[in-house]
């Protein structure tokens, strides 16, 4: 297959880009694809923490650009799923930025290495860091929560993606609370999708397991007994790779359905 380069972006910070990158990446690796995750959040990287790989990073892309190491040395393989690798653009607290030319070179060398998926975890905002992160991507996943502030920023980003020639965009609505949607205290996934006019890839519920998994450095999708958010990420991954039309209905949760889904996915 040809390699797909997908940037995970949002505009607003803290809405779940890194969580999405780690979980989609791990889940797609578990489906058997070769995956590399790029942490393009210069100076505030945390993808390594979510994957529990923080102690293994000795080199970053910055050292590769400066000729201090080979690309192989900056690519860290996950020991749990060795077809998943992570590459950080820079060391933490580094202030200076990479050039667009460098990021394009980096992506084209990765493409020569038989990866099926390259995910780029974008920094917050719409300035140079964002523009660098989207420059070499062919597709984007736009992450938003069902809150108006996040949606407005996502809308702005959707416009910028289009202006930069990135037309293949899919939406992921994160932190959905069925109880609040039912009481009309939160916008539904459908409302969010219609406001943004971007096709839906998936919807992820608000779930304390996300925080627990972040703190443990163990992506949700690795859990033997998947949480609801883990199932939702797995479904989004399957949709992304084009395997059937999985979409969790978060607004009318039926325990029986989730139980069956869990049984199906975990085989337990």
Residues binding Mg ion (CB under 5 A): 17-18
CA dist 230 and 225 (Å) reads 9
Q: Compute the least distance from the CB of residue 112 to ligand ADP, in Å.
A: 28
Which one-letter DSSP state was computed for residue 95?
-
Which residue of the chain is nearest Mg ion when measured via CB?
18
Binding partner of 175, given ligand ADP, Mg ion, none, CB within 5-8 angstroms per partner class: ligand ADP
What's the sign of the alpha-carbon dihedral 59, 64, 69, 71? Answer: positive
Would you say 143 is a known binding-site residue?
A: no
207 touches, from Mg ion, ligand ADP, none (C-beta below 5 to 8 Å by class) = ligand ADP
How far apart are alpha carbons 46 and 40 in whole angstroms?
Answer: 10
15 carries a ligand binding annotation? yes
Joined tokens for residue 157: 């980003």
Q: List contacts with ligand ADP (CB under 6 A).
A: 10, 13-19, 124, 174-175, 204, 206-207, 210-211, 214, 229
Cα separation, 242 vs 255, whole angstroms? 26
Residue 201 binding target from Mg ion, ligand ADP, none, CB below 5 to 8 Å by type: none
Q: Could you tell me the smallest distance in angstroms from the CB atom of residue 210 to ligand ADP? A: 4
Establish whether 266 is an annotated binding residue. no
Report the nearest approach of Mg ion to the CB of residue 56 (Å): 19
In which residue are the tokens 């998947």 written? Answer: 226
Closer by beta carbon to Mg ion, 12 or else 17: 17
Among ligand ADP, Mg ion, none, what does residue 214 contact (CB within 5–8 Å per kind)? ligand ADP
In 3-state terms, what secondary structure has residue 202? strand
Q: What is the DSSP letter of 107?
A: H
In this structure, the strands spanning 76-77 and 84-88 are antiparallel
**Residue 19 annotated as binding site:** yes
Report d(CA 83, CA 78) in Å as an integer. 7
Q: How far is the CB of 267 from ligand ADP (least distance, A)?
A: 24
CA separation for the pair 224, 216 (Å, rounded): 15
Residue 14 assigned to a binding site: yes
Largest Cα–Cα separation, the chain: 57
Nearer to ligand ADP, 14 or 197 (CB): 14
25 labelled binding-site residue? no
For the annotated binding site, the residues are 12-19
Q: Where is the binding site for ATP, in residues?
A: 12-19
């Amino acid at each position: 297959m040809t390699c797909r380069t997908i940037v995970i972006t949002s505009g607003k910070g803290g809405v779940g880009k890194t969580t999405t990158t780690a979980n989609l990446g791990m889940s797609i690796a578990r489906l058997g694809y070769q995956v590399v995750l790029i942490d393009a959040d210069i100076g505030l990287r945390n993808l390594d923490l979510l994957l529990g790989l923080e102690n293994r990073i000795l080199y970053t892309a910055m050292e590769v650009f400066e000729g201090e190491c080979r690309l192989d040395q900056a690519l860290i393989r996950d020991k749990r799923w060795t077809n998943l690798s992570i590459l950080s653009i820079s060391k933490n607290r580094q202030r200076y930025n990479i050039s667009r030319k460098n990021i394009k070179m980096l992506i084209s060398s990765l493409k020569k290495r038989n990866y099926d998926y390259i995910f780029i975890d974008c920094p917050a905002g719409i300035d140079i860091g964002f523009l660098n992160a989207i420059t070499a991507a062919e597709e984007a996943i736009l992450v938003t929560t069902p809150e108006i502030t996040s949606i407005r920023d996502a809308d702005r980003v959707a416009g910028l993606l289009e202006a930069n020639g990135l037309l293949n965009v899919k939406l992921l609505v994160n932190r959905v609370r069925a109880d609040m949607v039912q009481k009309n205290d939160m916008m539904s996934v459908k409302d969010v999708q219609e406001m943004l006019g971007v096709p839906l890839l998936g919807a992820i519920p608000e779930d304390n397991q996300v925080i627990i998994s972040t703190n443990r450095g163990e992506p949700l999708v690795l859990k033997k007994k998947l949480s609801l958010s883990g199932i939702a990420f797995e479904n989004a991954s399957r949709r992304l790779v084009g395997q059937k039309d999985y979409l969790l209905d978060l607004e009318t949760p039926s325990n029986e359905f989730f139980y069956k889904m869990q049984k199906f996915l975990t085989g337990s």
